[in-house]
Structure 1
Amino acid sequence: MAILALMVVLVGVRMALAPLTRLRRAIRERDPRSLAALQLTLPRELEELKHALNELLSRMRRVRANQERFIGDASHQLRTPLAGLSAHAELALRQQDPSAWHAALAQMQATASHTAHLANQLLSLTRLNNPEVQPPRVPLELSSLVRDTVSRHFLRCDRAGVDLGLEIAPDIDHAAWTPGVDWQLQEALANLIDNACKHGARVVTVTLSRADLVIHAALDLPEIRPLLQRYSREHPGMLLHYVNRSALALEARYLAAPLTPRADLMISSAMGLQYRLANGGHARPLQAANLTGWPESSRWRNELFAMSFEPIVMVARRDALKRLADSEGLRDPRDALRSHRDLWHLLETRRELLRGRVITYDPRRSGSGFTYAVSDARQSPRYWTLVRAMGQADARLVTTTGAMLEALANGEVDIAYNLVGPYAISFARAHPELLVIVPEDYVLIQRRLAFVPRQAPHGDAGEAFLDWWLSLEGQQAVASDSDLGALHPEVSGDGSARDLRERLGNALRPIEIGPGLLATLDRLKQASFLSRWALEFRAPAPVSAPTLSGEPLAALSGSPVAARCSMRRSVPS
């Protein structure tokens, strides 16, 4: 009985698989060159499979037709110039006069250039006409793409007597982003240039100036580029312009024409300057959901918003830490420098070893350096002893985090103090000889502040970008694509506010967003603070006392970015 049942099952399975067997036989027996649709009757269950196969064959027929059309077009279009090349070569071979050879070679070179140009056009045409190939649209930096395309056509246009020029608005140079396919845009622009030259234009100027969203920021492009690219991908068709300036230049440019600003969003690490502008009525109140729901400690009213959570760190060379640890009898080189107190201790006890090997901001010439110095003085009564110790060790003074990092990488110094965390972390990835140190006693936290100007030409676009940045999606992008430090309480990861709070707890000292920021801009208080700083550091007074009130600092007028300050004993300690 069991055997009979088994035979029935086998027969049933065989009958059920018979349509698949027919389909397999039909495919196997086909001419490999045939792309005709499958014509056989199958059960309803296999009809969908047959339709899918026929659709694939249909797409392959279109691809083949496109290839055949390209081969036909190429054969037709290239036949004439190739015949011309052959004729010029044959004519040159019959000549004995070198000048005739030169003329023939010149004609051959022109024909070869024309043929290469024609071949490129044919290839581009077949790529555009291929219905099965849809290249992905990626964020492109338009000014670079346009500049490269114009450069490639410049000599050819010049030989033809055409003056080919390029005008790119300064505010968007190297910062105009839009989704697209690079070769398609290049070909489109190349065709425009060709047509202008061929139809009688003697002067051709390519201009790039349109803007959908303009962001002015004191934030280096490499740190924000991945986020701009992500936003551009999510908003196809939008041309995004990004302009990077120093914090002081950012405010100065804005105040030069506050009623006609070019920016739709202003971002800066100079918290006092941003607060002053917002407090002065320059910021537009925003109502987007993520903005009104942002924690009160990270915004001022609904006008000024914190966008990042950036620790102010120290960076040291690993080999220098090893030497210092050995001199201190420490096994782990990292134990030599974990806090502000450790730095003071090393400067006091290993002064000769570190003479001229420490670098930090000059608060007299750097807005950021001044802010960090004031914040340090508020956080720790030891700050002034640390300043004195740095002066006695002939510490070098610079105006940017980048200058400190370069000096470390070049081996000119061993320890850098008060650097912007994201810049230092990003730089250290490419320089494993450097170690980023987040102080354990207290950590200043800088937060870049953003606002939409009241007279922004595309204020809604600026608000939409800021709303995206502070959304959960945007903050996850900040955490994954940058080192700026995500603020959102639900976002974790290295460098996020949540991660730093879990690791350092009460050691974090975020610079508060409020009226206290204005105190750092008061001229009398600035002068008093800088006078004491110079006294403690034993450095010569600057030629002119720069301020943070919108007047340019020396660093903006071409002064050296670094100064070596030797110890002066004109005042007793």
Structure 2
Amino acid sequence: MTRLFALLLAMAGPATAQEAVTTFQAGDVLPATVLAVRSTTDIDVFAPVLDAFVSANPTVAVRYEQWGSNALYAVTRQACDAGQGSIDAVISSGVHQMVDLVNRACAQPYVSPLTQALPSARRWRDEIWGITQEAAVTIYNKDLVPAADVPHSRFDLLDLMRRRPETYRNRIATYDIEASGLGDLFAFMDSQQATTFGGLLEGFARVDAVATCCSAEIIAGVASGRYLIAYNVLGSYLVDDISDRVGVIAPQDYTLILSRAYLIPESAPHAALAARLLDFILSARGQAILADSRLVQPASADEQPLPDSARRPIPIAPTLLVAMDQARRRIFVDTWRKAFGDDR
């Protein structure tokens, strides 16, 4: 496949706008239509399924824009409010933000045998669909974390932060919930699921844990030894070439399973093609390609398998609207800031 116009825009700090754009097309034939997709998924991770799609649909090119989740939500909502837009499909790991967009009548419906075959927890109102299955894992540096310290559950992590605060001071990382919509979603789900959430915040404060924006940055930090442990990291971004340095734990108390959300904006110029891409992604071939890219993954780990009872899929459902409530969010963010030593 031919990829044109790869513009990697280096940005300082959390993403506030478009980060990169690549156009996928089959061969050198000028396509009849360009399908515009905005997504939070790294281009390199999503490229194989888009290459396969344009190969199967050679008259269609895909212009793929990579965005940060908060910026993607903002620009999509702005286009919706204005009643106009040029984007055909939106894909985001900030699932609560996507549910909010659907609730604001920013998406259009689509039904096919493939969308209907999804579990109810991975579709809502026939306007939003979960296309991946990715585990939120704990990772650690294999060379620097003793086996006795490896936390196989949140209870283990709590105990570790209480027993050895000096060893792990500034060496435990997680997402910044203000910079990362994904991190905000994971923290919200923890607050709903776990009796350990308050203790985790207390523990993070005790060891001066680091909150930062991005999966790739956190994983690279653990691989290099800058961080010793990282909590609630999206396991799909772990790559083979760091597996000898980075260990992976699916927490045994429960492991969150994310399905990235796909919606077709109400103003999409090429809605039928966006639906065709959705069906391709949900097809057996599309899911196999996503599995090869780690976007469909079993919730397993290096050390021990995860029992089905510990899997906690994040539902694509109106219950996530609670996470978008502004009054609740102000309280939640204030509590988070205090745990990470930021009282702005």
TM over 0.5: yes
1:172: Cα distance to partner?
A: 11
Q: Which residue of 2 aligns with 1:514?
A: 317
The reply on whether 1:269 has 2:93 as its aligned counterpart is yes
Secondary structure of the equivalent of 1:346?
helix
Residue 440 of structure 1 deviates from its aligned partner by 1.2
- Does the alignment pair 1:320 with 2:159? no
Contact 1:143 1:173 in 2 (8 A): no
Aligned pair 1:444/2:250, yes or no?
Answer: no
Three-state SS of the structure 2 residue aligned to 1:354 is coil
- Distance in 2 of aligned mates of 1:498 and 1:411: 23
> Which one of 223, 244, 257 corresponds to residue 45 of structure 2?
223
- 3-state SS of paired residue (1:356): coil
Do the aligned partners of 2:38 and 2:89 also contact (CA within 8 Å) in 1? yes
User: Which residue number in structure 2 is paired with residue 369 of structure 1?
Assistant: 183
Counterpart Cα distance in 2 of 1:430 and 1:538: 28
1-structure distance, mates of 2:112, 2:229: 44
Aligned: 1:539 with 2:337: no
1:212 maps onto 2:34 in alignment:
yes
1:457 CA displacement: 0.8
| Structure-2 change in CA distance of 1:265 and 1:364 (3 Å) | closer
Correspondence for 1:409: 223
Return the alpha-carbon distance in structure 2 between the equivalents of residues 171 and 368 of structure 1. Answer: 17
> Does 2:69 correspond to 1:247?
yes
Among 154, 157, 170, which residue is 1:340 paired with?
Answer: 154
CA distance in 2, matches of 1:284, 1:498: 35
Matches within 5 A, 1:86-485: 139-144=1-6, 174-180=21-27, 211-258=33-80, 259-322=83-146, 325=148, 336-423=150-237, 425-426=238-239, 429-479=241-291, 481-485=292-296
Alpha-carbon distance in 2 for matches of 1:173, 1:312: 25
- 1:364: Cα distance to partner? 3.6
Please state which structure has a larger fraction of its residues in strand.
2
Distance in structure 1 (CA, Å) of the matches to 2:161 and 2:86: 47
Alignment TM-score, normalising by the size of structure 1:
0.54
Equivalent pair of 2:43/2:66 in contact (CA under 8 Å) = yes
Cα shift at 1:406: 2.1
TM norm structure 2:
0.88
User: Which amino acid counterpart does residue 251 of structure 1 have in structure 2?
Assistant: Y
Q: Kindly, what percent of the aligned residue pairs are identical?
A: 28
The answer to whether the 8 A contact 2:190-2:197 is kept is yes
Relative CO higher for 1 or 2, CA cutoff 8 Å, sep ≥ 6?
2
Partner of 1:63: none
Asked if the contact 2:114–2:282 (Cα under 8 Å) also holds between the matched residues in 1, the reply is yes
What CA deviation, in whole Å up to 9, does each residue of 1:371-409 have, x standing for no partner?
A: 211211211111111211121111112111122112222
Query: What code does the residue aligned with 1:299 have?
Result: R
SS at match of 1:407: helix
Q: Distance in 1 between matches of 2:19 and 2:193?
A: 40
Instruction: Specify whether residues 525 and 172 from structure 1 end up closer, same or farther in structure 2 by C-alpha distance, changes over 3 A only.
Output: closer
CA contact (8 A) 2:209 2:340 kept: no
Aligned alpha-carbon RMSD (Å): 2.6
The one-letter amino acid paired with 2:277 is F
Shift of 1:209: 11
Cα deviation, residue 431, structure 1 = 5.0
Give yes or no for contact 1:286–1:292 (8 Å, CA) kept in 2: no
Query: What's the CA shift for 1:469?
Result: 1.0
Q: Can you give the 5+ residue segments of structure 1 that lack an aligned partner in the other structure?
A: 1-138, 146-169, 186-207, 329-335, 486-494, 543-573
Pair 346,171 (structure 1): closer, same or farther in 2 beyond 3 Å: closer
Q: Name the one with the larger helix percent.
A: 1
- 1:454-484: CA deviation from partner (whole Å, max 9, x where unpaired): 22111100000101111222222222x3111
Cα distance, 1:294 vs structure 2? 2.3
CA distance in 1 between partners of 2:299 and 2:164 (Å): 35
How many correspondences in the alignment? 330
The Cα of 1:267 is off from its aligned counterpart by: 0.5
Q: Which amino acid aligns with 1:443?
A: T
